[in-house]
Structure 1
Amino acid sequence: MNFVAGQFPLWALWSGNALALGLLALAATRVRWRALEARAVNAWLGACVVLLGFWLGRAGLEPGLSFHLLGATVFTLLMGPWLALLALAAVLLGLAAGGQLEWPALGLNYGLSLLPGVALTALLLRLAQRYFAANVFVYVFVNAFLAGAAGMLLAALCGLAALALAGAYPLAYLLENALPYYVLLAWSEAFTSGLVLAILIVYRPHWVATFDDARYLDQQ
C-alpha cells in the first residue's frame, strides 16, 4: 500500500514517523556491521534496486490502495531482520525521493506495509528452527513460501484496518473490493519468495544470512 498523507490525522502521521525512526535506530545498533561480507552486501544492494523496480510497477485501485510485491520475506531471509528493516527503509526513501511516496506518510507505509512481513518472517524462522527438522524443504516452503504469503496478508490487514479506522474508506468497501486482490497477490509474493530463496541457496548460499550449510545440508 502507498498511503496518502491526507487520509490520516496529523497525530497518526507524526506517530508513525517517530516509531519508524526509533525502530531504525534500534536496528542500526543490532546489526553486526564488521561481520558483514562484502560480496553479500553488494548482492543485497542489488536486491534493493530490484525491489524498487517492483514497487514502481505497482497497480492502483484507489488512493492509498496499491498492489505490488513487498519483498519483506526475501529481505529478512537474505539479510536477517535488523538489516532488512534498514534496507527496506532505504527503498522507501528512494521512492519518496522520486516522488512515488509522500514524505509525511513514510512512517505509516513502513510500519504497516513492511514491518509486519519482517516480524512474521523472523518469528516463523525461529519457530521452524526450534520445532522442525533442519531440512532445506522446510526452509524454502515454510520460511520463504508460506511466510511470504502470510506476510503479505498480514500487511494487507494492517493497512486496511488503518484506512478503515482513519475513515478513508468504509470497512465493507475495503473487505469487498481490496482484500480479494491482496489474497491473490499473496500467492505471487509466496511464489516469488520461495523461488528466489530456492535459487539462491543452491547457487549463492553465502548471500543468504539465515541459511547455514552446516545446519541444513550436512545433516541430510
Structure 2
Amino acid sequence: MNLLAAPFPEEWLWLASAIAALLLLRAGMRIRWLQLSQPELSSWFGATTLILLLWQLQASVTPGIAFHLLGATALMLIAGRDRALFSMLVIIVVDALWQGHGDAEAAGLSWLIAGWVPVTLSHYLLQLSQRRLPCNFFIYIFLNSFAAGALCIWTTGLLQCLALAASPAFDLATLLDEQFPYFFMLGFPEAFTTGLNITILVIWRPQWVASFDDQRYLGRN
C-alpha cells in the first residue's frame, strides 16, 4: 500500500516524514535493543521478510492504488508494537526502492497510513481485550488475530482513499465506489491469514509471539 508522491503537495510529504521520524524515534527509545533474545530476533526478522514477500503479490486497478495483504496485525502480535513499526517502515521502503511500488518520497505518508495506524490499532485492541475481556485463548485468536486483521486493513484502505481524495487527482465518491470495495474484500483473506498463522505459532512456537503468554491464556506455569 505504498503511495505515489505525485498526487500530494510536497509540504504534505515533508510533514508526514517529520511526524513519522518522531514516532519512530519514540518507538526506538522503548525497545530494549541489547536485551532481545535469539527467538525474539528470529521471529521478528522472519515475519518482516515473509510479509515483505507477501506485499509483492499485489494488483492495481488505478495507478497509485495497490491492493495486497497488509500483515501489520500479525507483526504487532509477533514482535510487539514498537518493533512492528520498524518492520513496517522497512517493508515500505524496500518495496518502494526494490520493486518500484510507490515512491520513496512518500514513504513517510505511506508508513503513517499503512504502518503506524494498523499497528497502533491492533495494539490498543489487544490491550482493551486484556483489560475488559476474559484472558481466553479463543478471544486472543478470533478477536485479536482474525477480527483485528480485517479491521486494520479496512481502516487502512479507508484512510488511503481519504488521503488520495484530498489531492486534486482523485475524487472521494469514485474512490469509495470503485476502490474501497477491494479493500473490504481483502479484509477476509487478511483475517484468515493472520489468524491461521498466529494460531500455528502459538501452538508450536509460542516463544516467537511476543503478545502471547501461556500463563495468561492457558494457565500454564
- Measured against the shorter chain, the TM-score band is over 0.9
Distance 1:35 1:125 in 2: 24
Distance 1:134 1:173 in 2: 43
Structure 2, unmatched stretches of 5+, are none
Alignment size in residue pairs: 219
Distance 1:106 1:159 in 2: 13
In structure 2, the residue matched to 1:22 is 22
State whether residues 43 and 79 of structure 2, in contact with CA within 8 Å, keep that contact through their aligned partners in structure 1. no
Deviation of 1:24 after TM superposition, in Å, equals: 1.0
Q: Which runs of 4+ in 1 moved over 6 A?
A: none
In structure 2, the residue matched to 1:120 is 121
Deviation of 1:39 after TM superposition, in Å, equals: 2.0
**1:148-206 deviation per Cα after TM superposition (whole angstroms, max 9, x unaligned):** 00000111111100100112211111011001111000111111111011110000000
In structure 1, the residue matched to 2:158 is 157
Q: Which amino acid aligns with 1:21?
A: A
Deviation of 1:118 after TM superposition, in Å, equals: 0.5
Deviation of 1:115 after TM superposition, in Å, equals: 1.5
Query: For 1:7-156, what aligned pairs fall within 5 Å after superposition?
Result: 7-98=7-98, 99-156=100-157
In structure 2, the residue matched to 1:208 is 209
State whether residues 74 and 194 of structure 2, in contact with CA within 8 Å, keep that contact through their aligned partners in structure 1. yes
State whether residues 58 and 66 of structure 2, in contact with CA within 8 Å, keep that contact through their aligned partners in structure 1. yes
Task: Give the 3-state SS of the residue equivalent to 2:60 in structure 1.
Answer: strand
State whether residues 78 and 210 of structure 2, in contact with CA within 8 Å, keep that contact through their aligned partners in structure 1. yes
Q: TM-score, normalised by structure 2?
A: 0.96
Q: TM-score, normalised by structure 1?
A: 0.96
Q: Which amino acid aligns with 1:211?
A: F
Task: Give the 3-state SS of the residue equivalent to 1:167 in structure 2.
Answer: coil
Task: Give the 3-state SS of the residue equivalent to 2:61 in structure 1.
Answer: strand
State whether residues 55 and 69 of structure 1, in contact with CA within 8 Å, keep that contact through their aligned partners in structure 2. yes
Deviation of 1:90 after TM superposition, in Å, equals: 1.2
Distance 2:166 2:97 in 1: 28
Deviation of 1:131 after TM superposition, in Å, equals: 0.8
Identity %: 40
Distance 1:145 1:167 in 2: 36
Deviation of 1:43 after TM superposition, in Å, equals: 2.3
State whether residues 3 and 63 of structure 1, in contact with CA within 8 Å, keep that contact through their aligned partners in structure 2. no
Distance 1:217 1:205 in 2: 11
What is the RMSD of the two structures over their aligned residues, measured on CA atoms?
1.1
Task: Give the 3-state SS of the residue equivalent to 1:210 in structure 2.
Answer: coil
